[in-house]
Amino acid sequence: MSGSIRGKNIVASPIRSLVPFADKAKEEGKKIIHLNIGQPDIKTPRVALSTVCKLKDEVITYGPSAGLPALRKEVVTYYEKFDAGLKQEDVFVTTGASEAILFALLTCCDNGDEVIIPEPFYANYLGFAQLANVNVLPINTTISNGFELPGAESFEPMITNKTKAIFLCNPGNPTGQLYDKDELTALMVLAKKHNLFVIVDEVYKEFCYDKPFVSVLSYRGMEDNVIVIDSISKVFSACGARVGYLICKNPSIQAAVLKIAQLRLCPPYYGQQLAIAAYSNASIYIERVKEKYLKRRNLLADRLSKMEGVISYKAQAAFYNIVELPVDDAEVFCKWLLTDFEIDGTTLMMAPANGFYFNRSLGIRQVRIAFVLEEAMINKAMDILEEGLKVYNSK
């Protein structure tokens, strides 16, 4: 007896696609430097961990479906610096940003509707769109200009009577790009003209290195159109806490989100308590973390710029770079690094970038590198990549 067609057709995560090869390499005694996944090595705020450890609840009861009021208030306060103008009822706590993405698609779109997404994009967007029976319309961006956002005139011809939303990741995963105010304003005008939602994943907003971040929540007159996805996973290095947010001022979407949230009962209690504590001392922690990522960004860009045949750019934000390698198939090369190459017992794991494209052939020679490790490890990883390319291309 076979399962559903839906289950068979859901795209696999490119971030974890090489895990079996990595597991085998570890069994053979190799050490692996993981630049394939956005799991920061930076410590979660101590005050947040301490708060959770001190909790004395004797029964962990169901909480409010929209999230703990204390956390929703913290998020409202936190977003003041982005001129968001939020109220508590605009914030819904979710089980990570992943659940918020699914909630957004389910409440904005019906079966067979369309969303336009610049590619390459975070691969899970496509998986959640498949679950929601929503069609993704990709609009291509290229490594040649650092994956700049196409102008609104490129989006408009793609809009049909089935198009319900433009979906952005800003700052970008997997590209590390940052869309500025002029680019966002042009899309806002387009969305208003065609009565579209603008769904923006702003998870990496605190890590912008060369120009300021602009939240779409700051646009007045767009209250009915804008939905923001957020999370504590990256900003507080708390990926496993599974606390995210869907933020929206549209009363109709709010009512629909609440009904779906009630179906899953409530978001994680301990994660929410950790988040409340993390926000209490956020500014100092975030500034220190940003400084670390800036140094890592600069180091990675410098090392890649000196590698023969490698095409890259300096990421403007987040902690990712798409890199084009002088190989025919980056996925085959990444497997080879795990199975057949090492330096002093250590090798490197990266994410093949074809899985971040709707049109997978566009990323066949590319990888995504997450600069989430300390500088010494990044240097070692780049030594492995540089030497690995030489050996691989000499075969």
Res 13 pLDDT > 80 = no
Residue type, 316: Q
Least confident of 5-19, 36-50, 326-340: 5-19
Q: How confident is the model at residue 14 (pLDDT cuts 50, 70, 90)?
A: confident
User: Which alpha helices (H) appear in the chain, and where do they start and end?
Assistant: 5-9, 19-27, 46-54, 69-78, 96-108, 123-131, 152-155, 181-194, 251-263, 269-279, 282-305, 330-340, 375-393
Q: Tell me: the pLDDT tens digits for 24-37?
A: 999 999 999 999 99
Would you state the pLDDT for residue 287?
97
How is the chain split into domains, by residue range?
5-43+284-393, 58-281
In the chain, pLDDT over 70 holds for what percent of residues?
100
In the chain, pLDDT over 90 holds for what percent of residues?
95
CA distances from 164 to 128, 161, 325 (A): 16, 8, 36
Question: Is 229 within 8 Å of 96 (Cβ atoms)?
Answer: no
Q: How confident is the model at residue 9 (pLDDT cuts 50, 70, 90)?
A: confident
Would you state the pLDDT for residue 35?
96
Q: Tell me: the pLDDT tens digits for 225-245?
A: 999 999 999 999 999 999 999
Q: Quick one: average pLDDT of 342-368?
A: 96
- Give the DSSP letter string of 41-85: -SPPPHHHHHHHHH---SS-----TT--HHHHHHHHHHGGGGT--
Q: Tell me: the pLDDT tens digits for 115-169?
A: 999 999 999 999 999 999 999 999 999 999 999 999 999 999 999 999 999 999 9
For residue 38, give the nearest of 375, 394, 372, 378 by alpha carbon. 372
Residue 214: exposure state from Cβ atoms within 10 A (0-12, 13-18, ≥19): buried
Q: Quick one: average pLDDT of 74-103?
A: 98
Would you state the pLDDT for residue 2?
81
Class in CATH terms, 5-43+284-393: alpha beta
Helix (H, G, I), strand (E, B) or coil at 193: helix
Question: Is 65 within 8 Å of 258 (Cβ atoms)?
Answer: yes
Res 61 pLDDT > 80 = yes
Q: In whole angstroms, give the CA distance from residue 42 to residue 337.
A: 26
Q: In whole angstroms, give the CA distance from residue 137 to residue 116.
A: 5
Class in CATH terms, 58-281: alpha beta
Would you state the pLDDT for residue 395?
73
Would you state the pLDDT for residue 308?
96
Residue with tokens 């190799």: 30
What 8-state DSSP symbol labels residue 95?
S
Q: Quick one: average pLDDT of 11-40?
A: 90
Would you state the pLDDT for residue 12?
76
Whole-structure pTM value: 0.96
- Give the DSSP letter string of 363-392: GTTEEEEE--S-HHHHHHHHHHHHHHHHHH
Would you state the pLDDT for residue 17?
77
The vertex-182 CA angle with 181 and 186, nearest 5°, equals 115
